[in-house]
A and B are shown apart, each in its own frame.
Chain A
Amino acid sequence: QKEVEQNSGPLSVPEGAIASLNCTYSDRGSQSFFWYRQYSGKSPELIMSIYSNGDKEDGRFTAQLNKASQYVSLLIRDSQPSDSATYLCAVRTGGGNKLTFGTGTQLKVEL
């Protein structure tokens, strides 16, 4: 079992719709969770971080964490073509500073 799992996609949504991206992780001791957006050939940029169970909202983005189910998700409301990118889920594991990444979900927002 991979430490951090994501569906590779592509996930296609129409402009203005809600995009839902999911991630599961295997280390129950994980405390910090991050969503990064990565455009092709560019470096990852942080979208959201979440540390406690529940929802965290920032503009059009909402991160959801359920530690009991070992599940973290990212919702993007009012999706725009500029949101088309690969979204990486990252989990801080092992009690240290190591970030373990999922393979990413490619999101395509269609006009």
Chain B
Amino acid sequence: EAQVTQNPRYLITVTGKKLTVTCSQNMNHEYMSWYRQDPGLGLRQIYYSMNVEVTDKGDVPEGYKVSRKEKRNFPLILESPSPNQTSLYFCASTPWAGNTEAFFGQGTRLTVV
């Protein structure tokens, strides 16, 4: 089954404690991205990757890091989480070519206290 898998689904952590949210896709897609979703602000892109070892900032990259060492994996790293990073996070993947939609993971609800 074609899917994008995120882990964990729910996470409560304390300010400053480094964390990683994993994302993996089994569709051999080149393009992957991370979004955060906040009430009234919609989905905003954090970082994206066009292929292995190629990443770039989206609209709200501050406080986040990513890596793309393998095509299927695109982890989101919060080196020193702060309460303003409390949000619902989605990973998405898209084939590079063509007018195709983005496939979303199940989401990760992160709370930073």
Contacts and interface: CB of A to CB of B under 8 A. Distances in A.
B58 to A, nearest CB: 8
Interface residues of B, number: 25
A52 to B, nearest CB: 10
Contacts of A90: 102
B31 interface: yes
Contact of B99 (A41, A51, A104): A51
Contacts of B31: 97
Interface residues of A, number: 23
Contacts, number: 51
B40 A34 contact: no
B109 interface: yes
B94 A43 contact: no
B107 A104 contact: no
Given A97-B50, A97-B94, A103 B107 contact: no
Contact of B42 (A32, A34, A101): A101
Contacts of A44: 43, 90, 104
13 contacts: A42-B106, A43-B90, A43-B105, A44-B104, A46-B101, A51-B99, A88-B42, A90-B102, A97-B31, A97-B50, A98-B45, A101-B42, A101-B44
